[in-house]
Amino acid sequence: MKQKPKSKEEVYTFVRMAAEHHGWVVSPDTQFVEILVDGLQENFNTYGYFLCPCRDGEGSRKADRDIVCPCVYSKPDIDEYGHCYCGLYLDPDFAASGRLPEPIPERRPD
Ligand code: SF4
């Protein structure tokens, strides 16, 4: 069944709630976050699920289940690097340090 399209504000709410649920913080880089939120909104309204905005999916929830935001790689990446692959969610200590996310290796297997 086709999902009801999400507004940008609904996607921001989703991102804030996901961060709160996991004990993370949303990146303070508001311009960058807006790009990622736009990507999540476009993906949700295209595929019906929050496909990671930094990855190419297959377009099927089953094939993409590991990269539905927050992806299964986010926790190990945040534990190891202080932020997820996209740099949307940050570990609170990383955020407090004032450091900014940098490119990290893709943890998803080929
Ligand atoms: S890398 Fe970050 S933005 Fe992308 S799906 Fe994982 S948690 Fe979401």
- pLDDT at residue 3, rounded to an integer: 81
List the alpha helices (DSSP H) in 1-110: 8-22, 30-47, 74-81, 92-96
Q: Domains of the chain: which residue ranges?
A: 8-96
Q: Which of 71, 79, 106 to mutate to test the pocket of ligand 1 (most atoms within 8 A of CB)?
A: 71
CA of 1 to the centre of ligand 1 (A): 24
pTM (predicted TM-score): 0.96
Q: Which residue, among 79, 86, 82, 88, has the nearest Cα to 18 in the 3D structure? A: 88
Residue 67 CA: which ligand 1 atom is closest?
5
- pLDDT at residue 110, rounded to an integer: 87
Tokens representing residue 14 in the block: 């989703």
CB atoms within 10 A of CB 13: 12
Q: Which residue, among 91, 86, 84, 78, has the nearest Cα to 25 in the 3D structure? A: 91
CA of 75 to the centre of ligand 1 (A): 10
Please report, in tens digits, the pLDDT of each residue of the chain (110 residues total).
568 999 999 999 999 999 999 999 999 999 999 999 999 999 999 999 999 999 999 999 999 999 999 999 999 999 999 999 999 999 999 999 999 999 999 999 98
Q: Does domain 8-96 have CATH number 2.70.98.10?
A: no
Residue nearest to atom 6 of ligand 1 (CA): 71
Tokens 């740099």, residue located: 87
